[in-house]
Every structure is written in C-alpha cells, then in structure tokens.
Structure 1
C-alpha cells in the first residue's frame, strides 16, 4: 500500500474554489443578457470612467461599509480591470520615471507588485520601509524620503522629464508610497489610525501619492477563537483615502495624496478581472484617461454590468456575510489554533498576536533565528508534500541594503485556498520540519 502523502498547498493566495459564487453570477448574467437594453449596454464599449450604474452602486456600498463623514460620490470612483492592472495605469498616468524619485513599499510586500512597478521604469528605485508594531516604521520613511528629496534637489530634478502635461495628468507625483494597510499581504498586520494619519501628512509634505491595496478590508472577523461571531458589517478602520479626505481640513490640492485600490477578485472571483479605484474626483477622472482605458473604455465592461446586478440585488452582500466571512473566520481560527499548539512551543511567533480583529488570507510566521525560511520551505516541499511561501519572496525587489528587510526567517501561510480539513494537517507537517531543523 502506498504511503505517499496527499499534497497540501498553503501557498496559493486565491479564494477557495468551494467559496466562489457561480449561481449568483449566472443569475446576474441572465438578467443582463436577457434584457435587450442591458445587453446593448453591456456588449458595447464602456465609458472611460466605467459603467455609471456600477460606479453609483459601489459608492453607496462603500459608504455603508466604511461610514465616512460624508457620502462617497460616484465621481470619486473609476472602474478598473482589477487591482494589479490599476496600479499599472496609475503609474503610467501620474509618475515620470525620471522625475518621480522612488516608490516606497511597506516591507514585507506583495511581491508581484514589484514587476508592475519595474515595468514603469522604477527598477532599482523600489525602497522597502519596514513594518513596526503599528504597521509601518514612519520615522524610517520620513528619514529616507527626506534624503531622497534632497538628492533630487541637488541634482536639479525639479520638473517632469519624460511626461507631457495634459489636463488629465497636470500633476506628476514626486514619490509613490505603496501599502496594504489592512490585513497586509503577507504579514496580516493592520496599520493603526495614528500611522495612517502620519503617513498622509508625510505624503502631503513630500508630494507623494499613497496607493493602498484595500482588497481584504471586507474580509474581517473577531480574532478570538473563543467567539462564534464571524460577521462584521462595518469596517474596523478608516481607509487612508478617507483619512486624506478629512485630516487637517482635507487635501492640500484637488488631486489629493491617496488612492484606494479595490477589487472583486477576493469577494467574487479573480476571473472577473474587475475592480475600482477611489480617489479625489480629479484623480479618478485623470486615471480614467489612461491610454489603455481611453482607447476602448473601462475594462471588463460586461462583467461590470453583471457585478452591478449582484450589488443592487443584495446577492454580493449575502455572499460576503453569509458565506465568505463565516468560512474564512473558521479557517483562520483553525489554522491559528494549530500554529499556537504546534509551532509556538518551537519558538515560532506571529505579529500582532493580541489583535482584536483578524482578516484577509494570510498568517505570517517568524522562525527562530537559527532557521532559514527558504530552507524550511524547500524541506517542507520535499519531505512533507507541503507547499508554502518563504519570507524572502516578499522582499522589495532590488532593495538589498538591509538584511532585516530580506525576511530570511519568515514564512507565509494562506488559509483561504486549501480545503478546510487539511489546514491543521499542513501546520502539523510544517511543525515536523521545524522541529527536525532545530535538532540539527
């Protein structure tokens, strides 16, 4: 009889196939494609800013969840082809690869973003900013962004060099700051409100645009494993784009200094390739004029019409609160219990262990200093048929100045994709590898 282990995947950061909503999408598609008026709209080129009914629906939906001081207006919303595509469009529109000094990335970072940034001409100028207990080391950022600005002034880099000014991109930012402030990928950390306010003030001082991936915000639940509660209908933290909207009297220019990058990939399905950006009306409109959107209108227009139906019928909210949140909360608690039971005794730790609210997809582990994360990853694959992500994969590409930002003693586990019944088994396999490595 074979003794081969079944493979366990705790690497893939995708929604679990069992939690996708094909029935709701089918119903939305039927509505759109059976109504001649909706069909004509859905199958034509869309407006640059995106399908207006969806923009209006998203504005109301976000207002209900985040509860900002004022209602979010549809002119703050621009439909995108998903979070990754939207970052590329932002960089194409609002940066200059010579004039824009650096892209500052909270580290560890969503590593696939590095190639998008590199493609826009910032190879070698992506700089990692370490996390601290509040989510970002603000003193580190302030110090190094000041040095970068002084260098640009000394070199006479005072005007955009390669980008022609047009009405939709009258402003070119000197710096870009990239973060996943809520349930960060990969660390799972939540940036404090104090840090968010400090970050906005720095962005205003140095003419930076903060791009935040807010794709996990609605996937939140109480962290405690002792509670059965899994549904939290209101955001636990204001977004940075909301902070920029109100802090110290509001933005210092009509462009603002923050943009929220949203996506339906984690709450409907990544195959939809549909998302949105929220920013000042001026920036949202300018973003819609990016050449790839201006050529044929907003991307994913057909799916945008379908998702609009899911929002207005309540199917999307029901899917999130009735299916995703209970399932992901149960998965998170199952994995955390296994981590606490099997890995904590071996000296493994997690950031923000006493947090009240958890969410997202990932648990970030710090190994004992004598262990190498990449070696543990390799042994887990070879000896235990366990696929995980080493921390080194989450470093900022090209920023190798500080060993502390290489994350050689970290691992990332995803609890969202694998079947629920293998989460404990996967952590048990990892514990065997860690224990054996400590004995060496």
Structure 2
C-alpha cells in the first residue's frame, strides 16, 4: 500500500494548489510596508504587530460587515455592525471560548448540550473539555431541518427534573469578584451547522430556523451556529457573491425583543479557513447586539493578550478591502462545483443502484448511504487496507455518548482536497469493492 497513491476523502481543507499564497503575500506586504498607518494609535484598531483591542480591529470588523451585508442582502434593521462582532482565532477556538464564557455544566446550571447528529466529529471534544462529558444529547438531522419534536421533548424533560434546583450562587464561579456586569449563562446549548452541514451537506429551511429560535427563547438555550460553509454555494451564479439562506443570528435579530440589556439566543461562529486558508487561524463571532460578543471579548485570555489574531485578521481585512477574498471565493466555488458534479456522476455510475445520494450544492461535504445489506464500516476498511483509499464511515460522526448507528450504511465524502480526477478514481475503486461485496454476500448491485 505504501507505493499506492493515497486518495483521501476525509481531509476537510482545500487542495494545496488552491491556497492563495501569492495573494496573502501581497496583502501582508500592503499591510506592513508603510512606515505607519492612520489607525496605528487608534485604541479600537492599533498597529498590526502589537496586542490588538479585545474585540479586534474595528476596521476589520467593518470589512466583515460589508461582506456579509452584501452577500446576505440584509435589511437595514438586520444589518451586521462592527459592535455586533468579536474576532477570534478561528471557529474551533471560538467554540471553546464560547462554551467557557456562556455555559456552566459543572454545577448543573447549564443542564444539557444538544448536538445535531450526524455531527462534525471533532466538536465532541470541545464539549467534553467544557464539562459536558455526561450531558450531551444527539438530535437527528432531517432532510431540511432537525428533529424539533425530539428537541422540545428533551428540553421539557430536563426542565421537569431541574426546575426546583437552587443555582443562585453559581454566578460567583464564573464572574470575577466585583464584576460590574454578570455574564449571561444559558441553561441549554445547541450546536448545529445549518447551511451545507458537516457531515450531512444539508441546509435547513427558513421555517425550521425560525422554529428553533422560538424554542431556544422559551428554554433559555444558546444556539451555536457554525456558519463556515454558507458562502461556498455552487447553485447560484459564480459571477457574483452568493446570497445564502439567512443565518440564525440575522433571524434572531430581526424578531428580537430583549431590549438593550438582552443577549439573544444565537451566536454565529464563522471563519475564513474555508474562504481563504485555514493556516491563518482567523474567524469571528456575531450576535444579535453588542452584549454577548462583548462578554466573549472580555474573557481572561482576550483581556491579557487582546484579540487572538491581530496580524492575520488585518491581512484578511486587507484582502476583503482590495477584493481578493471575493475573487478567491469565486475561483474556489467554480473548482468545487466541478468536483461535486464529477462526484455525483461517479456515484451514480459506480456504486450500487439503490445508493442514496443527492448532488452536493455547497460546502465541503456530502453524505452517502449504501443499500441495506452493505456494511459501510467493513467496506471502508477494505478500501484503506487494499487500495489506500480513505473514506470515513459514519461511526466518525456520532455524538459522544448518544450513538445513532451511522456506521452501518453511511459515510462522508469531502470534495475540498482531492482533484476531480482523483475523485473519479477513488469512487471507481469503491464501486469495484462494493461489487465484490455484493457477490460475496448475495446482494443486489
């Protein structure tokens, strides 16, 4: 196997040739070449090479707002504003800070975490690190929604067994002595990837988004929305920015009635890892108003070192202002769209006739389900051992402690890393192994 080409459908980052090294060099040069910039002494921005403000550079936050307001075509009352945004070192670390700042499972104040299943496989560890190891419930993903009835039933159950508990002193654990404003801590937290989900590749309908927000408001639940793929839309015109489904935070803001002191029930956790490059480690979070993101920016780590990606945030900000981000996004979408079509055509041609699969229309990932009788876990193991073809079976995408049996027939495929030719070769090998499996197990192919 060592001499065989590795065809890795697991990797969730861009083909190395797609990474915009030249554009990043040019943006960095543009940013750092001047002896000084007009914002170097501005407390809201600061010099690119010193500690940044806690919230992150204001001009970068404004550049992000310009992008999102344009892409999502937001009404005036819903538009993103710099004060509603907190800069992070990417979506993964953003989640860790978010859970540390807004939940308290250790005392039982935060009663339960809900994670959509199948899920992004590495998110489990973030919740375990935050103290949710024995407090995680899986909620199944449906065709264009999640199982809202199951979510409501479980919330009502946990309300019934916890409502009489006294947590009046719990805030002392998570607030510094003498704090002027107490942190907002939620009783529940829900994690989802609502647009081009990882791993399912699904997008939740507008109505389901509104419904889950209403549920969250009723039960004091924070919805963490990983909005990392929504600009990677392959259905819409490649000649302009895509216009994705509204993020949950935009919908929460549109109908928000919590006043100046409220925090809302959603946080958009976004990153430039998929749009530009993951090595930059730069992202942002957005909430309905300034209160929740201000809380996130005042955590101990930010107070000590300022925004965690001061230089890289300004490199990306420069690329937003000079238009490179849009051009990179446009090129990536064209490449990925072609790969999606190749993947779909190959699956229809090479895999068993009753395989469940739909054309991927955005993001990095799609979900395949083989017919009854085929054991995806066994076949994927054969592919790796005999052919150096790596396809992760569904067991990777279970919610920790609450498995749903995804390993039996399903697996996830990535179009971000392999070329179109490699995708075609890998799926053909997979199909050949499925044929052999069908013969040896007396199955229809």
TM over 0.5: yes
Are positions 1:187 and 2:200 aligned together?
yes
1:173-205 CA-to-partner distances (Å, cap 9, x unmatched) read 000010000000000000111110010000000
Partner of 1:382: 385
Structure 1 residues without counterparts, runs of 5 or longer? 224-228
1:116-135 CA-to-partner distances (Å, cap 9, x unmatched) read 11101110111110011222
Are positions 1:127 and 2:137 aligned together?
yes
From 318, 323, 338, the counterpart of 1:314? 323
Are positions 1:218 and 2:231 aligned together?
yes
Partner of 2:250: 242
Are positions 1:31 and 2:30 aligned together?
yes
Q: How far apart are the structure 2 equivalents of 1:407 and 1:130?
A: 15
Distance verdict in 2 for CA 1:54–1:168, change over 3 Å = farther
Partner of 2:314: 305
Partner of 2:409: 409
1:327-353 CA-to-partner distances (Å, cap 9, x unmatched) read 1111111111111222251x2112xx3
Whether contact under 8 Å (1:124, 1:399) holds in the other structure is no
Q: How far apart are the structure 1 equivalents of 2:169 and 2:220?
A: 13
After TM superposition, give the deviation of residue 160 of structure 1 in Å. Answer: 3.2
How many residues get paired? 424
Deviates more, 1:69-78 or 1:363-372: 363-372
Whether contact under 8 Å (1:94, 1:169) holds in the other structure is no
After TM superposition, give the deviation of residue 72 of structure 1 in Å. Answer: 1.4
Partner of 1:424: 424
Partner of 1:433: 433
Runs of 4+ off more than 6 Å: none
Are positions 1:271 and 2:279 aligned together?
yes
Partner of 2:155: 145
Partner of 1:373: 376
Distance verdict in 2 for CA 1:338–1:406, change over 3 Å = closer
Partner of 1:226: none
Whether contact under 8 Å (1:168, 1:289) holds in the other structure is no
Structure 2 residues without counterparts, runs of 5 or longer? 41-45
Indicate the SS of the match to 2:223. Answer: strand
Whether contact under 8 Å (2:339, 2:419) holds in the other structure is no
From 80, 105, 113, the counterpart of 1:103? 113
Alignment of 1:27-176 (within 5 A): 27-38=26-37, 41-70=47-76, 71-97=79-105, 98=107, 99-156=109-166, 160=170, 162-164=173-175, 166-167=179-180, 169-176=182-189
After TM superposition, give the deviation of residue 371 of structure 1 in Å. Answer: 2.4
Distance verdict in 2 for CA 1:343–1:164, change over 3 Å = same
Computed over aligned residues only, the root mean square deviation of the Cα atoms, in angstroms, reads: 2.1
Q: How far apart are the structure 1 equivalents of 2:409 and 2:169?
A: 42
Partner of 1:292: 301
Whether contact under 8 Å (1:240, 1:260) holds in the other structure is yes
After TM superposition, give the deviation of residue 408 of structure 1 in Å. Answer: 2.9
Indicate the SS of the match to 1:106. Answer: strand
Whether contact under 8 Å (1:130, 1:405) holds in the other structure is no
TM-score if structure 1 supplies the norm length? 0.92
Indicate the SS of the match to 1:398. Answer: coil
Q: How far apart are the structure 2 equivalents of 1:67 and 1:384?
A: 47
Distance verdict in 2 for CA 1:251–1:348, change over 3 Å = farther
Indicate the SS of the match to 1:389. Answer: coil
Distance verdict in 2 for CA 1:168–1:54, change over 3 Å = farther
Whether contact under 8 Å (1:6, 1:385) holds in the other structure is yes
Partner of 1:13: 12
Whether contact under 8 Å (1:338, 1:424) holds in the other structure is yes
Whether contact under 8 Å (2:90, 2:281) holds in the other structure is yes
